[in-house]
A and B are shown apart, each in its own frame.
Chain A
Amino acid sequence: MVLLAALAAAATAVYATDFAVIVHNTNPTKAMPLAELGKIFRGKTSAWPNGRGITLIVRDPNSPAMKFIIEKVLGGSVDEGKAALNDPGRVKSGASVSFVSSDQDVVKGVESTPGAIGIVDVYNITSGVKVIKIDDKQPFDPGYVLKGRLQ
């Protein structure tokens, strides 16, 4: 195989996937606007409507997937997002964030924490968590906002 295939590889090395927002199975929330998810990321919203505290469980903000998510959810730069997620003031407000190393750990964390919310590659979901709609759409729906194309 020579030049053409090599160029083909270079031109098609893109990974596309949808990211699922997941909550505990007992959480009655079925849908959420993207703006509300942004508030959770920023620590502005720290409790569910029933009063239970929210724990945000996400992967390392430096991972390609999280960079995409931060940009989509917070609408700003990755650095701004990291700053928001690491803001010490969140602890006071009760908006806790837990960083884990894999999607599987995000799923496990959400499955075992009733107030948790997390974001994972949709191909990593299990029946132990519930996928909620964002802006009235779920992964694979046309126009779903958390559809990413990662290099």
Chain B
Amino acid sequence: MRNISLKRIFRIGFLAVALVVVAAAAPGAQQSKKSGQPAAKPATTKSVHAEAKPDTVPVTTSSKEARHEYELGMLHREDLLFDEEGLNDFRRAVKADPNFALGHATIAFFSDDPREEKREILLAKQTLAHAVPDEKLLIRFMIGTRDGDLIPAISAMNDLRASYPKDSRLGNMYAEWLLAVQLNYDRAEEVLQSVLKADPNYYPSLNNLAYCYSLSGDYSKTASLMQQYVSQLPGQPNPQDSYGELLRMAGDFKDSIEHYRQALFIAPSFTTSQLGIASNYAFMGDQERARVEYLQAISMTKERTTKLQYRMLWAMTYFRAGQQEQARKAYGDLALLAHKEDLAVDEAECYRTMALFNPSPEGALKDLDKAQGVLSQKHELPRADRESELAIILQTRAFIGARAGMSDVADKALALLAPMAAKSRSNVIQAAYHSTNGAVLLVQGKYAEAVPEFQENPRDPLSLQLLADAQSKVGLTTDSAKTLATLAAINDERVETAAVAQPVRDALKRNNPASTQANTPE
């Protein structure tokens, strides 16, 4: 997985934006890898040659320039993790060849901009006839995973993998989807191991495998993989960036910062490393420093959606510091900005964040009313994104209701969510449904029945918090303690983590300082 994947994972996890990575042939990328001297900065168009390789999925375009830009994009985005550069390469590719179906699909799946994503999916479908059969399989995988039509998508991917066993990028892409979207760590590990067996130095898979282990909670294997990854790409920022993120996940904030700094030393424009430094300071409790670092990250990104998300993290520092008034003002301003930009999910997220940090349950429910109100307005927004966000808002409503003992609130949330869940294959909606149902059962005193419902959503801080409550009530004190430890060990940038995990971490630290994470300042 890429350094940004976790940031995307959690956005994906809550906004149902599938992280789908395109892995068609990119000979340029492989040449770069084999040379052992990849560029420290984004490669220029002169540095990568477009040569088709028979052992990788074909890329069909009538334009040399489009092919070149596409392959450059794959190098930047997939191999070296220069996200914005990669996306811009893909945009140039479809500009050079508007009938480049795979190019359109690639943009759609990489873009965080709902408007762009919707448009490019449509264009990919409209231009599908220009693609060759195997390329169509790849597009089917990408579109199927986005539309929730997973059976043909998986079939297509497995067919492709059988046809192109030497296409390491293809296997890596499948593994990344399994890991980031399906949260199927075992299967992802299996696929990554098969890629690395055939190509032991395929560095994107080394990176992903390290994330795979870390997300499974097995940090013991992470360091050696990261060291291997760093040694493969000594002049590139992403290995250091990934190392930083994995250390942060493990709670080693100070060492994490050091690796992020090394990434920025190699490539000063590597925005995710700047963001990582900011978040580490936020996790360590130095909110003033975090704000300074976040502002730097904001100034480094050009993508409007990314910029807004970084601003939301900046604003969260006020909540983290307990400065309610400033935080609510900052989020209110960002909600207005998101409204102006027609970024409805982000606008709704601003209000949902305000709800999660609102000390008054009644006030929080009013915040959530605003969040739901945003989604009821007309927006250019994929239906899946709208429904996923609504599901998360309803889950949040049930969470707040359950914690406040307001059974009617949880009941109403479930009544709205249940029909959605009955029709949807979205794992986000399903997870939200189970958590909401658990909240209803919890507030009804049906603790034993609530436990398995919360366990359906095992990396969600809200579910883990209520799971610990339910386990405690039913007498499973050891399990409850383990659940709280799991919750406290989550170190990511989600609002749920900031709202729920941090207080648990603080409480555990107060009760047993020796058992908490290393390097966390008092």
Contacts and interface: CB of A to CB of B under 8 A. Distances in A.
B400 interface: no
Interface string B505-522: 000100000011110000
Interface string B175-202: 0001000001111000000000000000
Given A12-B486, A13-B217, A142-B422, A5 B154 contact: no
A1 B219 contact: yes
A12 B151 contact: no
A78 interface: no
B424 A142 contact: yes
Contacts of A17: 184, 187
Interface stretch (A68-76, A86-94, A121-129): A121-129
Contact of A10 (B187, B250, B251, B482): B482
Given A4-B488, A140-B425, A12 B150 contact: no
A140 B181 CA distance: 13
A40 B437 CA distance: 35
B50 interface: no
Contacts of B55: none
B468 to A, nearest CB: 10
A20 B185 CA distance: 19
Contact of A11 (B151, B156, B486): B486
Contacts of A121: 187
A11 B485 CA distance: 9
A1 B187 contact: no
A52 B486 CA distance: 52
A2 B486 contact: no
A17 B186 CA distance: 10
Contact of A142 (B184, B430, B459, B485): B430
B378 interface: no
A13 B185 CA distance: 9
B154 A12 contact: no
Contacts of B421: 142
Nearest to A121: B187
Contact of A7 (B158, B184, B486): B486
Q: Which of A8, A12, A13 has the most CB of B within 10 A?
A: A8
Interface in B401-446: 421-425, 430, 433
Nearest to B185: A15
Given A8-B489, A17-B184, A127 B159 contact: yes
Contact of A139 (B151, B430, B459): B151
Contacts of A139: 150-151
Contacts of A7: 482, 485-486, 489
Interface in A99-132: 121-128, 131
A122 B425 CA distance: 14
A122 B218 CA distance: 25
A141 B430 CA distance: 10
Describe A's contact surface by its main secondary structure.
mixed
A5 B491 CA distance: 10
Contacts of A20: 151
A121 B162 CA distance: 17
B158 A12 contact: no
B126 interface: no
A1 B517 contact: yes
Interface in B453-494: 455, 458-459, 482-483, 485-486, 488-490
A137 to B, nearest CB: 10
B187 A5 contact: no
Contact of A4 (B155, B424, B516): B516
A31 interface: no
Contact of B159 (A1, A13, A126): A126
B252 A142 contact: no
A117 B508 CA distance: 52
A10 B252 CA distance: 20
Contact of B219 (A5, A10, A13, A16): A5
A6 B216 CA distance: 10
Contacts of B178: 123
B483 A141 contact: no
A32 to B, nearest CB: 16
Given A4-B251, A7-B482, A142-B421, A126 B217 contact: no
- List 10 A-B pairs, minimum CB-CB distance, nearest first: A9-B217, A7-B485, A4-B489, A1-B250, A8-B489, A1-B219, A8-B486, A8-B217, A11-B486, A140-B425
8 contacts: A5-B217, A7-B489, A11-B458, A11-B485, A15-B186, A123-B184, A124-B158, A140-B425
Interface of B: 148, 150-151, 154-156, 158-159, 162, 178, 184-187, 216-219, 250-252, 421-425, 430, 433, 455, 458-459, 482-483, 485-486, 488-490, 508, 515-518
Given A12-B458, A14-B455, A17-B187, 6 more contacts: A1-B251, A5-B489, A11-B458, A12-B486, A14-B458, A126-B162
